[in-house]
A and B are shown apart, each in its own frame.
Chain A
């Protein structure tokens, strides 16, 4: 009989989290949102939550030989930890003034990171179901009011309008940049595949743009756009100015072109030559071949390019707030400059979730497209 292969990922993640639970602070409690708090360990958790956290982690470690328990163990651990934290925060809130804040500690973040990495690894084959399983418990806990006294939730309630605006704005920046990216990127990709002479210089140029630090590129656009707006009033009337949306969208587009152009060219190059030859020999026009044969066959690779581009843009849009474009990055930097950790998280966590959501959805689309071709 063949010995069962031992999974090394799960015990490592479970082990790290288990050590973190007993050596690092799981929660911090501070008199207000700007002061750093004192560390609290697992002993302050309700006994049931503590037991579930530890047994869930033991399950993850056990997954070395029984991989099936990894997903369940990780979900139990993360859910028990979040629920326990909310419960502790409520208890502490009853004993302290309203300005006091209870937040996740470093050990807690590490625990969550390990748990979610385990979930992602264990559920790789069913990304959508996995994502829903990971997101559902926190959403239910938040909706049920169990986490109301946690610092991050308090911050969210306090900044609710600001947060909604920032989120919408963030999405708008990404979507606005996505339109020119597709409109320019697809034709350039086709051109790069058809024309050897264009491909190398184009990809080199787009690759060079990627190496410019994003803050520098945003900054570099301020001056020419200001001059343009000053010189041509009708440009300014369109809302194009040195700061704000315009430079952000232009810079994001420049960064986003490379994955789209490269993947479009690669996808088209990967179309079987025999299929194109047959299509030509049977009397399809160039346009018909492109629409009926080349594009459908290249689509999974092209959409993969769009996925890379969008995930990258969600992250880069955060930096765009530095030139006044707004978005979740604005919350993040506001928190950074005010030394308010919760505000940083209020910007950063949704950016992360947005990126993961885009990634999951597009991976799913690619998989559906591939099913037709494979």
Chain B
């Protein structure tokens, strides 16, 4: 869906992005992760031509981006940024309607779409619709920011540290929302962050960058278990490797099906590191697991955590 071919970007003598090649497939959630100055934001901003590459080519849906008028390209790619960038003088409704209005949608369709998106982001349309951004909390503002990026139903979504300025609780809640929305809508998402845990939690693929170079791109498991070099190993944080490996798997993958278990069960989608934490806190070595409908699936055993996945 998004293809980078030998893309470089130089600002004067400074090389921000150095010969980067990366393909993000349709429906993939690709997270660009790296320290500040690693070139990850520059890479993202070249996709919708906020920055023009010095060399190489970028395609979105098979079409080279420089073949399209920048405004036209941008209206068909969702865009969300860290400080949200909501227009303070416009209501929530008008903010979300920005791109549909630029595309000339009829009024009724825009109204319905705003309602639909507020529902999707779990904001009460009747309450929030006519409020101004400063009347919302930081988390609500970022929800509106995400809704605005989704407004015209773009196939591709660019997100530049969208949750960077939020407190940890709000942040975790929004990460869950975004994972759910990605699951529901099947959008292709290119997401920039400097937080490895966020990358592991959200990404179906992680691309680690440093000094403008792409060091490694792969599944969270591959990044954790086979780091390409010392930088990736350090960045991932080798001391808690085991817990991080658990964090990218859910209870469903290790459940012994059909087994009964007492005590309050956990959801099948619970990450394993949380399940482990819960066992230690409760002082038990088994947990019941239920599916989303609440039907018991089986039991999770402490002994199975250390085993490699079949």
User: Hey, which bits of chain A sit against chain B, CB under 8 A?
Assistant: 272, 274-285, 288, 292-293, 296-297, 372-374
Q: Give A356 Cβ to nearest chain B Cβ, in Å.
A: 30
Contact between chains at B73 and A283 (CB < 8 Å)? yes
Q: Which residue of chain B has the shortest Cβ distance to A299 in the bound complex?
A: B89
Contact between chains at A283 and B102 (CB < 8 Å)? yes
Contacts of B99 in A (CB 8 A): 282-283
Contact between chains at A275 and B86 (CB < 8 Å)? yes
Contacts of A277 in B (CB 8 A): 50, 81, 85
Choose among B70, B72, B74, B148 the residue with the greatest number of A CB atoms under 10 Å from its CB. Answer: B74
Q: Which residue of chain A has the shortest Cβ distance to B103 in the bound complex?
A: A283
Q: Give A46 Cβ to nearest chain B Cβ, in Å.
A: 55
Contact between chains at B89 and A372 (CB < 8 Å)? yes
Query: What would be 9 A-B contacts, judged by CB atoms less than 8 Å apart?
Result: A276-B85, A277-B50, A277-B81, A282-B74, A283-B72, A284-B98, A296-B89, A297-B89, A373-B89
Inter-chain CA distance A277–B81, complex, in Å, is 9
Contacts of B148 in A (CB 8 A): 282
Contact between chains at A282 and B98 (CB < 8 Å)? yes
Select which of B79, B82, B89, B132 is within 8 A of A282 by beta carbon.
B79
User: Hey, which bits of chain B sit against chain A, CB under 8 A?
Assistant: 48, 50, 70-76, 79, 81-89, 98-99, 102, 132, 134, 148, 158
Contacts of A372 in B (CB 8 A): 89, 132
Contact between chains at A374 and B85 (CB < 8 Å)? no
Contacts of A285 in B (CB 8 A): 71
Inter-chain CA distance A275–B87, complex, in Å, is 6
Q: Which residue of chain A has the shortest Cβ distance to B48 in the bound complex?
A: A281
Q: Give B253 Cβ to nearest chain A Cβ, in Å.
A: 38
Given contacts A277-B81, A278-B81, contact A272 B88 (CB under 8 A): yes
Given contacts A272-B83, A374-B134, contact A281 B88 (CB under 8 A): no
Given contacts A282-B75, A282-B99, A285-B71, contact A274 B81 (CB under 8 A): yes
Inter-chain CA distance A279–B101, complex, in Å, is 13
Given contacts A274-B81, A278-B79, A374-B134, contact A284 B89 (CB under 8 A): no
Contact between chains at A281 and B83 (CB < 8 Å)? no
Known: A275-B87, A281-B158, A297-B88. 11 other contacts (CB 8 A): A272-B85, A274-B83, A275-B85, A280-B50, A282-B79, A282-B148, A283-B74, A293-B87, A296-B89, A297-B87, A372-B89
